[in-house]
Amino acid sequence: MFSWESNTKVTSIVTYREDIPNSPSKNQVDMKYISGLHEMEISGLTPQTEYIAYVEGVDGYGNKATSESIRFTTATDTRPPKISNVVVEPDLLSRTEQTEKSRSAQFVVSWETDEPATSKVEYGEGGAGVYTSSSKLDQELRTKHLVIISGLTPSKVYSLQVVSSDNYENEAKYGPLVSITPKSNSTIFETVLGTISNIFKVF
């Protein structure tokens, strides 16, 4: 939050950039004419980063006043990602991959986060929210996530929990998600990869 005072009615312009050579500047503007106390909140800054900024004001006659530059360091990011739109799709592995008698089941788990984060799913048999296994951690930071849990037993109840951590190791969990795998002799539910690819453009 920036705050400053002016002795006449002026607009508010805050110009800021990271305090490194050749870093591009950004502006936030409020065109309302205000005298006295001015306040402006700047969002979207990188945590734990040094910035340089200055304030400008223009009065109704076009006269401009500019403050001295100030330096500041943003706070540490302590907020975990927000997980939403979680979907668990039960499936059987394709006949082209396994014989009918030995076919195993799988879950296709997808979700979104409000900031780039890692992807992992913890899971275990039963609906009590006990997780005895985990998918391999996908360390690529993204906002749209897709994990496939394979090698599962058909006709079994499983508990699942999605886990995402941001670049500052703030971890978010969402679960338990209780789902049952299909019967091995059920009609095949082949995952519609075309639909998933339309939703998750990054894949």
What's the average model confidence in pLDDT over 157-170? Answer: 96
Write the pLDDT tens digit of every residue in 107-137.
999 999 999 999 999 999 999 999 999 999 9
* Nearest by Cα to 13 from 59, 68, 69, 56: 56
pLDDT at 24 over 50: yes
Q: What is the pLDDT of residue 183?
A: 85
- pLDDT averaged over every residue in the chain: 88
Confidence band, pLDDT 50/70/90 cuts, at residue 104: confident
The answer to pTM > 0.75 is no
Q: Determine what percent of the chain falls in helix, strand and coil, rounding each to the nearest 5.
A: 5, 55, 40
What's the average model confidence in pLDDT over 152-166? Answer: 96
* Nearest by Cα to 167 from 70, 46, 58: 46
Q: What is the pLDDT of residue 103?
A: 66
Confidence band, pLDDT 50/70/90 cuts, at residue 184: confident
Buried b (16+ CB within 10 A) or exposed e, 47-73: eeeebbbebbbbeeeeeeeeeeeeeee
